[in-house]
Amino acid sequence: MATRWGICSAGKISHDFTVALKTLPLEDHQVVAVAARKLEDAQEFAKKHSISKAYGSYEELARDRDIDVVYIGVIHPYHLNTCLLFTNAKKNVLCEKPLAMNTKEVQQILASAKKNGVFLMEAVWTRFFPVSVEIRRLLAQGELGEVKMVRSEFGVPLMHVPRAMQKELGGGALLDIGIYCLQFVSMVYNGEKPESIQASGVVHVETGVDETVVAILKYSKNRMAVITCSSGVKLPNDAIIMGTKGTVRVPAMWCPTSLVVNEKETEYPVPEPYLPLNFINSTGMRYEAEEVRQCLLKGLKESTVMSHADSLLLAELEDEIRRQVGVVYSQDCQ
């Protein structure tokens, strides 16, 4: 039986996710419905992607019995209420990152998924790329020796994008792109909580959101990590793992298609899309979609690769870094 997907939101990321699903076998994945806040948007999306059902509200999608799992592609200030809508309707959920605006909201979402007995995963797509699978293998087999230092950076000029700059839209570099750096460090250090965090950043005077953030994370056994994210400038956008026996570099660390191990590069290309994409390498979202299918087939309620504990840790790290930098959202005051 194919895993039947419902798409919540007809925006850019939902378009790319739907294109990515089409790179997988039709007998495994099918998009059966799409919902948007305006019916015409859903209808236009459905026509473009050959989807049989289009809804003008998320509630209608939540009531659709022909859906196994819902992909949520709304912007992050709406993640809490949208996730709760679907988990309370007993729907399995794959929700775009960040899972929510802060730790408290993440806890609410996880509690609802647990109470309703449904699968839930934060769509940290990077974790499922073949490059990430290979990194975890190298680490597990000790091929880099003892990892002493991890560095990860992601910067793209986003100051012209309202979603990235307006506080009420969840703007700020950390939650939008810095999360990729944090998840990478957390993956390398196997979900361990750092002993200390020292963060500094530049907060946009007019909007109150973070434009650039640098954080130093210290872990047990004198292991370190440094993350840098910026919505003001383009950075090299790679990640480096430094161990006592070797070094790994990951170009385009948020959607990697190559891996450099001790100066030797290996390519891991993603499939070509059948429609133009909004974001680079978006067909790589196929890997997280397949993870969801495998978890559902096994009756699991969470993924071991991107677990509920992983999502909670990410939110806690983001909260602490924002506290030190001085970025407060309205959701933090509720």
Burial category of 324 from C-beta neighbours within 10 Å (exposed 0-12, middle 13-18, buried 19 and up): middle
The DSSP annotation for 83-142 comes to: HHHHHHTT-EEEEESSSSSSHHHHHHHHHHHHHHT--EEEE-GGGGSHHHHHHHHHHHTT
Q: Which residues of 101-126 are buried (b: 16+ CB within 10 A; e: fewer)?
A: bbbebbebbbebbeebebbbbbbbbb
Phi, psi dihedral angles at 209 (to 5 degrees): -105, 155
**CA dist., res. 246 & res. 187, Å (int):** 18
What is the pLDDT at residue 107? Answer: 98
- Domains (range + CATH), the chain: 3-123 (3.40.50.720), 127-269+306-326 (3.30.360.10)
Q: Which residue has the tokens 């993350």?
A: 227
Percent helix, strand and coil across the chain, each to the nearest 5: 40, 25, 35
- In the predicted structure, residue 7 carries a pLDDT above the cut 90: yes
What pLDDT band is residue 333 in, cutting at 50, 70 and 90?
A: very high
What pLDDT band is residue 113 in, cutting at 50, 70 and 90?
A: very high
What is the pLDDT at residue 139? Answer: 98
What are 141's two structure tokens?
């087999």
What pLDDT band is residue 58 in, cutting at 50, 70 and 90?
A: very high
Task: Say if CB 68 and CB 4 are below 8 A apart.
Answer: yes
What is the pLDDT at residue 334? Answer: 86
What is the pLDDT at residue 223? Answer: 98
What strand order describes the sheet that includes 69-72?
53-55, 29-35, 3-8, 69-72, 92-96, 120-123
If you average pLDDT over residues 104-133, what whole number do you get?
Answer: 98
Residue 240 host element (H or E): strand 239-243
- In the predicted structure, residue 22 carries a pLDDT above the cut 90: yes
What is the pLDDT at residue 120? Answer: 99
Task: Say if CB 71 and CB 8 are below 8 A apart.
Answer: yes
Nearest to 237 by CA among 228, 245, 224: 228
Cis check: omega of the bond before 77, within 30 degrees of 0 = no
What are 275's two structure tokens?
């429609």
Residue 79 host element (H or E): helix 79-88
What pLDDT band is residue 105 in, cutting at 50, 70 and 90?
A: very high
Burial category of 330 from C-beta neighbours within 10 Å (exposed 0-12, middle 13-18, buried 19 and up): exposed
Whole-number mean pLDDT of the chain?
98
The DSSP annotation for 181-211 comes to: HHHHHHHHTTTPPPSEEEEEEEE-TTT--EE
- In the predicted structure, residue 183 carries a pLDDT above the cut 90: yes
If you average pLDDT over residues 136-150, what whole number do you get?
Answer: 98
pTM: 0.98
If you average pLDDT over residues 150-163, what whole number do you get?
Answer: 95
Q: What is the DSSP letter of 177?
A: I
Q: Which residue has the tokens 């939650």?
A: 175
If you average pLDDT over residues 208-217, what whole number do you get?
Answer: 98
If you average pLDDT over residues 183-211, what whole number do you get?
Answer: 97
What pLDDT band is residue 108 in, cutting at 50, 70 and 90?
A: very high
What is the pLDDT at residue 265? Answer: 98
Q: What share of the chain has pLDDT > 70, as a percent?
A: 100
What pLDDT band is residue 321 in, cutting at 50, 70 and 90?
A: very high
